Amino acid sequence: MSSVEMGDVSRTEIMIGAITRMLQGLRHVAVGNSSPIPGSAALLARALSGGTLRVSLLGSRKHNAFTDGGRELFDCAAQGRIDAFFLSGGQIDGAGNINLVGLGDYPQSHVRFPGSFGSAYLYHLVPRVILFREEHSPRTLVPKVDFISAAGTSPENVYRPGGPYALVTGLCVFRFDRQQKQFRLESTHPGVSAQDVKKATGFNYIAPEITPVTEPLDDNALRLLRTEIAHQIAETYPGFAARNWGVGQS
Protein backbone atom coordinates (compact mmCIF):
# COMPACT_ATOMS: atom_id res chain seq x y z
CA MET A 1 0.00 0.00 0.00
CA SER A 2 1.44 3.37 -0.96
CA SER A 3 1.13 6.64 0.91
CA VAL A 4 -2.45 7.07 2.13
CA GLU A 5 -4.31 10.25 1.25
CA MET A 6 -6.80 11.79 3.67
CA GLY A 7 -9.71 10.96 1.38
CA ASP A 8 -8.86 7.28 1.62
CA VAL A 9 -9.34 7.20 5.37
CA SER A 10 -12.84 6.28 6.55
CA ARG A 11 -14.66 7.91 9.46
CA THR A 12 -14.41 4.60 11.33
CA GLU A 13 -10.63 4.62 10.90
CA ILE A 14 -10.47 8.21 12.15
CA MET A 15 -12.33 7.13 15.30
CA ILE A 16 -10.04 4.13 15.76
CA GLY A 17 -6.99 6.35 15.39
CA ALA A 18 -8.27 8.84 17.98
CA ILE A 19 -8.90 6.06 20.50
CA THR A 20 -5.57 4.37 19.77
CA ARG A 21 -3.68 7.51 20.78
CA MET A 22 -5.55 7.60 24.10
CA LEU A 23 -4.25 4.12 24.98
CA GLN A 24 -0.55 4.83 24.59
CA GLY A 25 1.56 4.14 27.67
CA LEU A 26 -1.10 2.08 29.48
CA ARG A 27 -0.65 -1.41 30.92
CA HIS A 28 -4.01 -3.15 30.55
CA VAL A 29 -7.02 -2.24 28.42
CA ALA A 30 -10.31 -4.17 28.60
CA VAL A 31 -12.95 -4.06 25.90
CA GLY A 32 -16.55 -5.15 26.48
CA ASN A 33 -19.07 -6.70 24.13
CA SER A 34 -20.44 -4.96 21.01
CA SER A 35 -17.36 -2.75 20.78
CA PRO A 36 -15.58 -3.38 17.45
CA ILE A 37 -14.21 0.15 17.09
CA PRO A 38 -12.60 0.24 20.59
CA GLY A 39 -11.54 -3.37 20.11
CA SER A 40 -9.72 -2.50 16.89
CA ALA A 41 -8.09 0.50 18.59
CA ALA A 42 -6.92 -1.62 21.53
CA LEU A 43 -5.41 -4.28 19.27
CA LEU A 44 -3.71 -1.60 17.18
CA ALA A 45 -2.34 0.11 20.31
CA ARG A 46 -0.97 -3.26 21.45
CA ALA A 47 0.75 -3.82 18.12
CA LEU A 48 2.25 -0.34 18.13
CA SER A 49 3.51 -0.85 21.70
CA GLY A 50 5.45 -3.91 20.65
CA GLY A 51 3.15 -6.14 22.65
CA THR A 52 3.66 -4.48 26.04
CA LEU A 53 0.00 -3.44 26.29
CA ARG A 54 -2.27 -6.18 27.60
CA VAL A 55 -5.66 -6.34 25.85
CA SER A 56 -8.64 -8.24 27.23
CA LEU A 57 -11.22 -8.38 24.46
CA LEU A 58 -14.43 -9.90 25.81
CA GLY A 59 -16.01 -12.31 23.37
CA SER A 60 -12.67 -13.27 21.86
CA ARG A 61 -10.95 -16.63 22.30
CA LYS A 62 -7.61 -15.37 21.00
CA HIS A 63 -7.35 -11.99 22.68
CA ASN A 64 -8.80 -12.56 26.13
CA ALA A 65 -7.01 -14.29 28.99
CA PHE A 66 -10.06 -14.12 31.29
CA THR A 67 -11.51 -17.52 32.10
CA ASP A 68 -14.39 -16.36 34.29
CA GLY A 69 -16.07 -13.75 32.10
CA GLY A 70 -17.43 -10.58 33.67
CA ARG A 71 -16.59 -11.65 37.21
CA GLU A 72 -12.86 -11.65 36.49
CA LEU A 73 -13.15 -8.32 34.68
CA PHE A 74 -14.87 -6.77 37.70
CA ASP A 75 -12.26 -8.19 40.08
CA CYS A 76 -9.44 -6.71 37.99
CA ALA A 77 -11.16 -3.31 37.96
CA ALA A 78 -11.64 -3.38 41.75
CA GLN A 79 -7.95 -4.17 42.21
CA GLY A 80 -6.89 -1.26 40.01
CA ARG A 81 -5.51 -3.55 37.29
CA ILE A 82 -7.46 -2.11 34.36
CA ASP A 83 -6.31 1.24 33.03
CA ALA A 84 -8.95 1.86 30.37
CA PHE A 85 -12.40 0.62 29.42
CA PHE A 86 -15.09 1.70 26.94
CA LEU A 87 -18.76 2.51 27.34
CA SER A 88 -21.51 3.69 25.04
CA GLY A 89 -25.24 4.21 25.38
CA GLY A 90 -28.51 4.90 23.64
CA GLN A 91 -28.16 8.37 25.14
CA ILE A 92 -25.14 10.29 26.46
CA ASP A 93 -25.46 13.71 28.06
CA GLY A 94 -23.11 16.61 28.68
CA ALA A 95 -22.32 15.52 32.25
CA GLY A 96 -21.02 12.18 31.00
CA ASN A 97 -24.10 10.23 32.13
CA ILE A 98 -25.06 7.29 29.91
CA ASN A 99 -28.40 5.57 29.37
CA LEU A 100 -28.41 1.86 28.57
CA VAL A 101 -31.95 1.16 29.82
CA GLY A 102 -34.46 2.88 27.55
CA LEU A 103 -36.31 5.98 26.40
CA GLY A 104 -39.17 7.55 28.31
CA ASP A 105 -40.13 7.54 31.98
CA TYR A 106 -38.84 4.36 33.59
CA PRO A 107 -40.26 1.76 34.09
CA GLN A 108 -42.75 2.61 31.33
CA SER A 109 -39.98 3.10 28.79
CA HIS A 110 -41.36 3.11 25.26
CA VAL A 111 -37.99 1.97 23.84
CA ARG A 112 -35.78 -0.50 25.67
CA PHE A 113 -31.99 -0.81 25.37
CA PRO A 114 -29.88 -3.90 26.20
CA GLY A 115 -29.38 -2.96 29.88
CA SER A 116 -26.69 -1.58 32.17
CA PHE A 117 -24.83 -4.79 33.16
CA GLY A 118 -21.68 -3.59 35.00
CA SER A 119 -21.43 -0.14 33.43
CA ALA A 120 -21.96 1.83 36.66
CA TYR A 121 -19.43 -0.32 38.52
CA LEU A 122 -16.71 -0.04 35.87
CA TYR A 123 -17.39 3.68 35.29
CA HIS A 124 -16.71 4.25 38.96
CA LEU A 125 -13.47 2.26 39.15
CA VAL A 126 -11.57 2.37 35.83
CA PRO A 127 -9.42 5.54 35.63
CA ARG A 128 -9.78 6.09 31.90
CA VAL A 129 -13.26 5.34 30.56
CA ILE A 130 -13.59 6.32 26.92
CA LEU A 131 -17.14 6.82 25.69
CA PHE A 132 -17.89 6.17 22.04
CA ARG A 133 -20.84 6.56 19.72
CA GLU A 134 -20.78 6.48 15.90
CA GLU A 135 -24.08 8.32 15.56
CA HIS A 136 -23.63 11.95 16.55
CA SER A 137 -27.05 13.61 16.67
CA PRO A 138 -29.36 15.44 19.10
CA ARG A 139 -31.18 12.12 19.43
CA THR A 140 -28.16 10.38 20.97
CA LEU A 141 -26.21 13.27 22.56
CA VAL A 142 -28.88 14.82 24.74
CA PRO A 143 -29.15 17.59 27.38
CA LYS A 144 -30.14 15.01 30.02
CA VAL A 145 -30.48 11.24 29.69
CA ASP A 146 -33.89 9.70 30.39
CA PHE A 147 -32.32 7.16 32.74
CA ILE A 148 -28.87 7.20 34.34
CA SER A 149 -27.37 3.75 33.88
CA ALA A 150 -23.93 5.04 34.86
CA ALA A 151 -23.24 8.50 36.26
CA GLY A 152 -20.44 10.59 34.81
CA THR A 153 -19.61 12.29 38.09
CA SER A 154 -20.05 11.76 41.83
CA PRO A 155 -20.28 14.10 44.85
CA GLU A 156 -16.95 15.51 46.04
CA ASN A 157 -17.00 13.41 49.21
CA VAL A 158 -17.26 10.13 47.27
CA TYR A 159 -14.06 8.25 46.52
CA ARG A 160 -14.05 7.63 42.79
CA PRO A 161 -10.87 6.73 40.89
CA GLY A 162 -12.76 6.21 37.64
CA GLY A 163 -14.83 8.27 35.28
CA PRO A 164 -15.16 9.68 31.77
CA TYR A 165 -11.96 10.55 29.95
CA ALA A 166 -13.23 11.33 26.46
CA LEU A 167 -16.12 10.88 24.05
CA VAL A 168 -15.30 9.84 20.49
CA THR A 169 -18.09 10.12 17.91
CA GLY A 170 -18.46 9.96 14.17
CA LEU A 171 -17.94 13.73 14.00
CA CYS A 172 -15.44 14.69 16.67
CA VAL A 173 -13.50 14.07 19.85
CA PHE A 174 -14.57 15.54 23.19
CA ARG A 175 -12.41 15.46 26.33
CA PHE A 176 -14.09 15.46 29.72
CA ASP A 177 -13.13 18.28 32.09
CA ARG A 178 -13.49 16.82 35.58
CA GLN A 179 -13.23 20.21 37.23
CA GLN A 180 -16.00 21.73 35.11
CA LYS A 181 -17.89 18.39 34.93
CA GLN A 182 -18.42 19.06 31.25
CA PHE A 183 -17.11 18.00 27.85
CA ARG A 184 -14.67 20.15 25.91
CA LEU A 185 -14.47 19.91 22.12
CA GLU A 186 -10.95 18.74 21.33
CA SER A 187 -11.05 18.16 17.58
CA THR A 188 -13.36 17.68 14.63
CA HIS A 189 -12.85 14.90 12.11
CA PRO A 190 -11.68 15.75 8.59
CA GLY A 191 -14.45 17.40 6.60
CA VAL A 192 -16.44 18.31 9.74
CA SER A 193 -16.66 21.89 11.03
CA ALA A 194 -17.15 23.10 14.57
CA GLN A 195 -20.54 24.41 13.44
CA ASP A 196 -21.48 20.93 12.20
CA VAL A 197 -20.73 19.55 15.66
CA LYS A 198 -22.73 22.29 17.37
CA LYS A 199 -25.80 21.61 15.23
CA ALA A 200 -25.62 17.87 15.86
CA THR A 201 -25.05 18.02 19.63
CA GLY A 202 -27.93 18.23 22.09
CA PHE A 203 -25.86 19.15 25.15
CA ASN A 204 -23.77 22.21 25.97
CA TYR A 205 -19.99 21.85 25.92
CA ILE A 206 -16.88 23.99 26.16
CA ALA A 207 -15.84 25.14 22.69
CA PRO A 208 -12.40 26.54 21.88
CA GLU A 209 -12.01 29.53 19.57
CA ILE A 210 -10.10 27.38 17.09
CA THR A 211 -10.81 23.66 16.80
CA PRO A 212 -8.04 21.37 15.48
CA VAL A 213 -8.71 18.55 13.01
CA THR A 214 -8.53 15.03 14.42
CA GLU A 215 -5.16 13.59 13.46
CA PRO A 216 -5.41 10.51 11.24
CA LEU A 217 -3.25 7.43 11.64
CA ASP A 218 0.10 7.58 9.90
CA ASP A 219 0.71 5.33 6.90
CA ASN A 220 2.37 2.57 8.92
CA ALA A 221 -0.40 2.39 11.53
CA LEU A 222 -3.14 2.56 8.89
CA ARG A 223 -1.51 -0.25 6.91
CA LEU A 224 -1.27 -2.31 10.09
CA LEU A 225 -4.92 -1.65 10.91
CA ARG A 226 -6.13 -2.69 7.47
CA THR A 227 -4.14 -5.92 7.44
CA GLU A 228 -3.04 -7.57 10.68
CA ILE A 229 -5.54 -5.86 12.98
CA ALA A 230 -8.43 -6.32 10.52
CA HIS A 231 -7.83 -10.08 10.57
CA GLN A 232 -7.52 -10.12 14.36
CA ILE A 233 -10.78 -8.26 14.98
CA ALA A 234 -12.53 -10.48 12.43
CA GLU A 235 -12.32 -13.35 14.92
CA THR A 236 -14.81 -11.55 17.16
CA TYR A 237 -16.52 -9.17 14.71
CA PRO A 238 -16.44 -10.77 11.23
CA GLY A 239 -19.16 -8.54 9.82
CA PHE A 240 -17.39 -5.38 10.97
CA ALA A 241 -14.06 -6.51 9.48
CA ALA A 242 -15.65 -7.51 6.19
CA ARG A 243 -17.62 -4.28 5.93
CA ASN A 244 -14.66 -1.99 6.66
CA TRP A 245 -11.67 -3.84 5.21
CA GLY A 246 -13.06 -6.67 3.13
CA VAL A 247 -11.49 -9.41 5.24
CA GLY A 248 -13.11 -12.52 6.68
CA GLN A 249 -12.48 -14.48 9.85
CA SER A 250 -8.89 -15.65 10.22
Q: What is the pLDDT of residues 192-242, one digit of tens each?
A: 999 999 999 999 999 999 999 999 999 999 999 999 999 999 999 999 999
State the total domains in the chain: 1
* pLDDT band, residue 112 (cuts 50/70/90): confident
Q: Say if 77 falls within a structural domain.
A: yes
pLDDT at 250 over 70: no
Residue 123 has pLDDT above 70, yes or no: yes
Percent of the chain with pLDDT over 70: 96
Q: Residue 32 is part of a domain; what is its CATH number? A: 3.40.1080.10
Predicted model pTM: 0.94
Residue 233 belongs to what domain range?
6-245
Q: What is the mean pLDDT of residues 23-37?
A: 96
Confidence of residue 67 (pLDDT cuts 50, 70, 90): confident
Residues 6+ apart with CB under 8 A from 123: 87, 98, 129, 150, 151, 152, 162, 163, 164
Q: Collapsing DSSP states into helix, strand and coil, what is residue 197?
A: helix
> Which CA distances in Å does 136 have to 88, 109, 142?
12, 22, 10
Is residue 132 domain-resident? yes
pLDDT at 7: 46
Sheet of 84-87: strands edge to edge? 54-57, 28-31, 84-87, 128-133, 164-169, 172-177, 182-188
What are the pLDDT digits (tens) for 87-110?
Answer: 999 999 999 999 999 999 888 888
Check residue 107 and give its pLDDT: 84
Indicate if the pLDDT at residue 185 is higher than 70.
yes
* 1, part of any domain: no
Cα–Cα distance measured from residue 72 to residue 61, given in angstroms and rounded to the nearest whole number: 15
| Strands 84-87 and 128-133, sheet pairing | parallel
CA dihedral for 37, 243, 113, 95, sign (positive or negative):
positive
pLDDT above 80 for 145: yes
26 in a structural domain: yes
Considering only CA atoms, give the Rg of the chain.
18
- Tell me the pLDDT of the chain averaged across its residues: 94
In a domain, 250, yes or no: no
How far apart are the C-alpha atoms of 204 and 94, rounded to whole Å?
6
